[in-house]
Amino acid sequence: MYVGEGEALLRNTFQRARLAAPSIIFFDEADVVAAKRGGSSSTNITVGERLLSTLLTEMDGLEQAKGILVLAATNRPHAIDAALMRPGRFDLVLYVPPPDLEARYEILHVHTRNMKVGDDVDLRRIAEDTELFTGAELEGLCREAGIVALREDISATVVCNCHFLTVKESLKPALTREEIDSYSSFMKTRSPTSSSSRVSESSVKRQMKAKKNSLAPVLSVITCFASIALLAAAKYLFVQTNQTQTELATT
């Protein structure tokens, strides 16, 4: 690839998306295209910054990308430049965790539906023993179990539980607890929902306080008018009562 060809490909992608709008652009391994600015190599800095500036320009720069939905996926969210996480670009961040027990059980069902498994195979137990396994790793587990069965007997037609156990002992999940915790911490610090809720709560409090302050002089004026009206009514009743007593005395 020649210098500047990556930026040209990005511009061409957005141009084709605008012509076919409404459309979706999906970037896999987005940390390669939108890496943080700065690094040890000057060449990497130049290439990365040019790609990032081109991406930012195409998303909301000189020419608006109307009718285009931009999606991106990465397993290195901390490596993405902060400029892309601002409102108007990538507004929503979704964390896709590794499959839980029920999801692993369903994934094993999917990848063994065309495979004849023995009666001793307990997919629920295998799902319990494969915590932190991704869907791709579970697919590889089922495929490798079939290969082990064929290595034992080239004419084998059934995959037994011992084959799954053999593969399970040699496979380790790529994910670790530390990585999952780092993803969770990224969501806590970058969660748009929490920040928006804090902003909305503070704005509501400010509005309520402002309303109370603005109503205070109005309430005082209303109270003053009410007291004057009560005094006038009392004086009127007093005068009427005196006139009535005078008329009765004269009669």
What are the tens digits of pLDDT across the range 37-93? Answer: 765 555 455 777 888 888 888 887 656 667 888 999 988 888 888 888 887 788 888
Instruction: Say whether pLDDT at 210 is over 80.
Output: no
In CATH terms, the fold of domain 5-85 is: Rossmann fold (3.40.50)
Instruction: Delimit the CATH 1.10.8.60 region(s) of the chain.
Output: 101-174
Tell me, what's the pLDDT at 76? 85
118 CB-near residues (< 8 Å, 6+ apart): 158, 159, 160, 161
pLDDT band at 186 (very low <50, low <70, confident <90, very high): confident
Tell me, what's the pLDDT at 145? 94
Tell me, what's the pLDDT at 146? 94
Q: What is the CATH number of domain 101-174?
A: 1.10.8.60
Instruction: Say whether pLDDT at 198 is over 80.
Output: no
End-to-end CA distance of the chain: 120
Cα–Cα nearest to 26, from 62, 79, 69: 69
Cα–Cα nearest to 36, from 76, 94, 88, 87: 76
Instruction: Delimit the CATH 3.40.50.300 region(s) of the chain.
Output: 5-85
Instruction: Say whether pLDDT at 160 is over 80.
Output: yes
Mean pLDDT of the 192-199 span? 43
pLDDT band at 3 (very low <50, low <70, confident <90, very high): low
Tell me, what's the pLDDT at 247? 46
3 state DSSP class of 191: coil
* Average pLDDT in the chain: 76
Tell me, what's the pLDDT at 144? 94
